[in-house]
Amino acid sequence: GQQLNQSPQSMFIQEGEDVSMNCTSSSIFNTWLWYKQDPGEGPVLLIALYKAGELTSNGRLTAQFGITRKDSFLNISASIPSDVGIYFCAGQRNTDKLIFGTGTRLQVFP
Amino acid sequence: NAGVTQTPKFQVLKTGQSMTLQCAQDMNHNSMYWYRQDPGMGLRLIYYSASEGTTDKGEVPNGYNVSRLNKREFSLRLESAAPSQTSVYFCASMKGTTTNEKLFFGSGTQLSVL
């Protein structure tokens, strides 16, 4: 089955730094979602995007729905230790089931 | 309000053994899902149930069976476990079937098959 490619696979950054990650697909999506998974827990929705070019923020997190509808981006500003976890993108075409990305593992050092 | 509850949290099986992973939600959601998470692979859908009494295959259903016991509960069964089924399993639920942004996940079951 199709999967979404996320990059980078992992990031090791210092507290206070900004983070950028992206997700790409060979297919067009109507919805892009970003989830965060804390260690030992299930994913939790961070941001949902529904329109090409849409830019949405949730606190220090900002996500964008790519113009081509084949990609999406997530930025975290001024990272803190609790940002540690795995970030997943997910895309949906029409009423198809969600397709998840391969994940970006983020480690933040104080 | 517990949300989505999965049991057990951890399980070790020998090849060929069977077991059932339990999932219950208390949010009166209609649809429920089972995913597996493997390193570098993201989350892959095993089976889902759009409503009580219905079940459908997802992307990777081979080796699994499911039962939607009632609106609250959706179990995943491994009849004859194989090492390739070593994974972290997540149950999820949502109110409808098309508004995927409302997907709520359980905390996962870590399964090792030796």
* pLDDT tens digits, one per residue of B22-47: 999 999 999 999 999 998 788 999 99
Chain A residue at shortest CA distance from B91: A42
Say which of A1, A3, A42 has its CB closest to residue B106.
Answer: A42
How many other CB atoms are there within 10 angstroms of residue A70's CB atom? 17
- Closest CA–CA distance from residue A4 to any residue of chain B (Å): 9
Question: Three-state secondary structure along chain B?
Answer: CCCEEEECCEEEECCCCCEEEEEEECCCCCEEEEEEEECCCEEEEEEEECCCCCCEECCCCCCCEEEECCCCEEEEEECCCCHHHCEEEEEEEECCCCCHHHCEECCCEEEEEC
B100–A90 CB contact, under 8 Å? yes
Of B8, B28, B4, the C-alpha closest to B105 is B4
Amino acid sitting at position A41: E
B43–A97 CB contact, under 8 Å? no
- For residue range B65-111, what is the model confidence (pLDDT) as tens digits? 999 989 999 999 999 999 999 999 999 998 876 655 578 999 999 99
CB-CB contact of A103 with A91 (8 Å): no
Integer Cα distance of A7 and A14 in angstroms: 18
Contact of B5 with chain A, judged by CB distance below 8 Å, is answered with no
Contact of A44 with chain B, judged by CB distance below 8 Å, is answered with yes
B44–A100 CB contact, under 8 Å? yes
Written as six digits, the tokens of B46 are 């095993």
Q: Which of residues 25-84 of B touch A (CB under 8 A)?
A: 35, 40-45, 48, 58-60
- Closest CA–CA distance from residue B12 to any residue of chain A (Å): 17
pLDDT in tens, chain A (110 residues): 567 899 999 999 999 999 999 999 998 999 999 999 998 899 999 999 999 999 999 999 999 999 999 999 999 999 999 999 999 999 988 777 889 999 999 999 98
CB-CB contact of A19 with A79 (8 Å): yes
